[in-house]
Amino acid sequence: MAFEVEFSKRLDLFGAEIFAALNDKKVALEAQGKKLYNLSVGTPDFEPMPHIKQALCDAAMVSENWKYSLRDLPELLNTVCAYYKRRFDVDGITPDQIMSFNGSQDGMGHMGLALLNDGDVVLLPDPCYPVFITGVKLGGGVPYYYHLTKEHNFLPNVKEIPDDVADKAKIMIVSLPANPVGSVGSPELYQEIVDFCNAHKILLIHDNAYSDIIFDGAVGHSIFNIPGAETCAVEFFSLSKSFNVTGARISFLVGRRDVIAACKKLRTQIDFGKFIPEQKAAIAAMTGPLEPIKAQCAEYQRRRDALCGGFRSIGWDVPDSHGSMFVWAPVPQGHSTSMEFCMEMIEKAGVICTPGSSFGPSGEGYVRFALTLPVEKITEAVQAVKNSGLIG
């Protein structure tokens, strides 16, 4: 008989993985032949550009490239520096201010291990992407949630953070455009956050995964467009959503040299560097054309209009998202928890969305939709929700 193993108590810090539960339900309904519209997981349905795929394939044909890379290629680091100038008009980023990660999720999940000691206070947006909470807990940190509310357009409001909390805080995590709430920051808001972090000696970690998916004529920025950010900030910059390479897990941490050095030290203990063909694909992405990214953003906006406008037309008051590839929708009146409503949506309409409760304490009462289907399919999904009788 197998003996019992006592697992790490760290696992008790985390609830069930919501996307796994939704996928189990999806698989069961597909087996029954039900037509489904999957708007839950935020992975783009657009194709990577051909030159990116070709660069990976060409590099993969070189046998030497299958060995441990052990480092980020100098060519890759120099390309990131040049891209920050090209895309964000940010001067002065140097290679020692950059390191790659296997996706921003991996980076955020490990940051706490490099930067936090037990009891350190971290300012977290609420709602937020779940790995922000995971990384803090794994590092022994204590979350203090600053709330993203409808009344404040789901944007950070540092004025509401008490001075005694700010003085204790070691890190503040900000994500704009924001997953899951779809809010977008202005330069004035970024400046307010940077000034707040410098005043209280807080390390600012900016998750900048969605700067190329931003609507209604707004422009996506880097935190380093803001004066003073160089003294207090690091930024996760990802290729996943802009270039449709989510599975390749290509992202970078950019900013303060001491933070980069600490994270590199941790990384040397747990992996041997990013696969060289992936590094070559990243170089091709950042040196190639950017016009397709703008066209893709326009298509995301059309999808947003179809989903949000479509839901409003059937009596569900869903506000427009301003950025990211997500829509944050209030649970309609007459329904209970966000998880129960999601399950009803799957069963009665065949539409899969994500319960807001999985994004932090203030997420209850909302559901998140990902704009990962073409307009015609989104229109069908809206009609399926109307036909289900769930709204009204």
What is the domain range of residue 38?
14-43+292-388
Within this chain, do residues 24 and 167 fall inside the same structural domain, yes or no? Answer: no
Q: Model's pTM, two decimal places? A: 0.94
Please indicate, yes or no, if residue 308 is contained in any of the structural domains.
Answer: yes
My answer on whether 213 and 151 are in the same domain is yes
pLDDT tens digits for range 76-109 = 999 999 999 999 999 999 999 999 999 999 999 9
Residue 13 pLDDT class (50, 70, 90 cuts):
confident
Number of folded domains that form the chain: 2
With 0-12 / 13-18 / 19 or more C-beta atoms within 10 angstroms meaning exposed / middle / buried, residue 269 is exposed
Statement to judge: residues 283 and 296 lie in one domain: no
> What counts of helices (H) and strands (E) characterise the chain?
15, 12
Condensed to tens digits (0 to 9), the pLDDT of residues 155-212 reads 999 999 999 999 999 999 999 999 999 999 999 999 999 999 999 999 999 999 999 9
Cβ pair 224, 233 in contact under 8 A: yes
CATH code at 237?
3.40.640.10
Q: Which residue has the higher pLDDT, 56 or 22?
A: 56
pLDDT at residue 16 greater than cutoff 80? no
Q: Average pLDDT for residues 330-342, to the nearest whole number?
A: 91
Pairing state between β 233-238 and 169-175: unpaired
Structure-token pair, residue 88: 């964000």
pLDDT exceeds cutoff 80 at 314: yes
The last residue of one of the domains, among 287, 315, 336, is 287
| Residue at which a domain ends, from 287, 320, 348 | 287
Residues 38-48: tens digit of each pLDDT: 998 888 999 99
